[in-house]
Amino acid sequence: MTKLSVNVNKIATLRNSRGGDYPNVVKVSSDIESFGAEGITIHPRPDERHIRYQDAYDLKKIVTTEFNIEGNPIPKFMDMVLTIKPTQVTLVPDAIDAVTSNAGWDTIKHQSFLKEVISEFKSKGIRTSIFIDTNAKLIEAAATTGADRIELYTEDFATEYAKGNTQIIKPYTESAILAHKLGLGVNAGHDLSLDNIQFFAQNIPNLLEVSIGHALIAESLYLGLENVINMYKHKLKG
Ligand SMILES: CC(=O)[C@@H](O)[C@H](O)COP(=O)(O)O
Ligand SMILES: NCC(=O)COP(=O)(O)O
C-alpha cells in the first residue's frame, strides 16, 4: 500500500504568523502519526518562512515513522540533513526565492552534481529521492545518479485533473513503469488532494509514497470547522 507522508510546512506557516509556538509543529506531527500517517515531510526553505532548520532537529527527536526532508542541496541544507540523518532526503531544485516548488530536476544537466550529493547522503545511510517531471530521458538520467527513488512532480496532473482531463495520468503511469524497470522506487507529490489522490494512486503502479501538505491542511480546516464551531457555541451557552 502507498504510504502517506504529511507535509507540515503549513503548520509552521500558521505558527510563524503570530510569532509564538501555536500550533506546535512537534505536537501536531506527533498527532498526525498517531492518527495513522506513515511519515512526516518537511521542506525547509532558505528564508525559513515556514519550517525552520531548528524544527528539523526537533522533529528528528520525535518522529517514529518515516522522516522525509525535502529541499535544494545547498551547503547549509546538506550539513543539516547529514547531521540529522532522516529516513529520506528528497532533492528539489528550488530557486532561493521560489514561492513553492515549480519544477523537477534537469538530471542530464546536473547529473554529476546529483551523483556527488547523492553519494554523500547514501554514505550516511539516508535514502535519496529526486523530484522530477514526467520525462523519460530525465528519468533514465536519474537512474544513473545512484538515487533510490524519484518523486513525480504532480502539479500538472492536479491542475488538469481538476478540469476533467483524465488523460493527464498517462505520462505519470508511463514514468512510474519506466522508473520501476530502471530500479527506481516511485514517490509523488505536489497539489495532491482528497479530490485527486484515489484516481492518481489507482493508476500509478508501485507507488511507494505520497507527500501531501497544502490541500491536506486546508481540508482539515474545512472538515474540522463544524466541530470546533459547535464547541465554541457550547461554551458560550448562557
Ligand atoms: C517538493 C514539493 O512539491 C513540496 O515540498 C512543496 O514544494 C511544499 O513546499 P511549500 O510548502 O514551501 O510550498
Ligand atoms: N513533496 C510534496 C509535498 O511535500 C507536499 O506538497 P503540497 O501537498 O504542499 O503541494
User: How crowded is residue 151: how many other Cβ atoms within 10 Å of its Cβ?
Assistant: 28
Q: What is the pLDDT of residues 111-165, one digit of tens each?
A: 999 999 999 999 999 999 999 999 999 999 999 999 999 999 999 999 999 999 9
**Given the CA of residue 151, which atom of ligand 2 is nearest to it?**
1
Residue 58 has a pLDDT of: 98
pLDDT under 70: residue ranges of the chain = none
**Given the CA of residue 190, which atom of ligand 2 is nearest to it?**
10
Query: What ipTM does this complex have?
Result: 0.97
User: How crowded is residue 199: how many other Cβ atoms within 10 Å of its Cβ?
Assistant: 13
Considering the candidates 33, 66, 151, 190, report the single residue annotated as catalytic: 190
Whether 110 is catalytic: no
**Given the CA of residue 153, which atom of ligand 1 is nearest to it?**
3
Ligand 1: lining residues by beta carbon, under 6 Å = 7, 9, 43, 45, 70, 92, 100-101, 131, 189-190, 213
Residue 238 has a pLDDT of: 74
Q: What are the grid coordinates assigned to 153, written together? A: 512532480
CATH 3.20.20.70 corresponds to the domain 3-236: yes
The domain locations on the chain are 3-236
pTM confidence score: 0.97
Whether 66 is catalytic: no
Backbone angles phi, psi at 91, to 5 degrees: -85, 125
| Residue bearing the CA closest to ligand 2, atom 6 | 190
Torsion 67-100-9-75 (CA) sign: positive
Residue 192 has a pLDDT of: 98
Is 154 annotated for ligand binding? no
DSSP the chain: -PEEEEE-HHHHHHHHHHTS--S-HHHHHHHHHHTT-SEEEE---TT-SSS-HHHHHHHHHH--SEEEEEE---HHHHHHHHHH--SEEEE----TT-SS------TTTTHHHHHHHHHHHHHTT-EEEEEE-S-HHHHHHHHTTT-SEEEEE-HHHHHHHHTT-GGGHHHHHHHHHHHHHTT-EEEEESS--TTTHHHHHHHSTTEEEEEE-HHHHHHHHHHHHHHHHHHHHHHH--
Q: Which long-range contacts (CB under 8 A, 24 or more apart) does 89-93 make?
A: 89/121, 89/126, 89/127, 89/128, 89/129, 90/41, 90/128, 90/129, 90/130, 90/131, 90/151, 90/187, 90/211, 91/117, 91/118, 91/128, 91/129, 91/130, 91/131, 91/147, 92/43, 92/131, 93/131
Residue 184 has a pLDDT of: 98
Residue 182 has a pLDDT of: 98
Residue 223 has a pLDDT of: 97
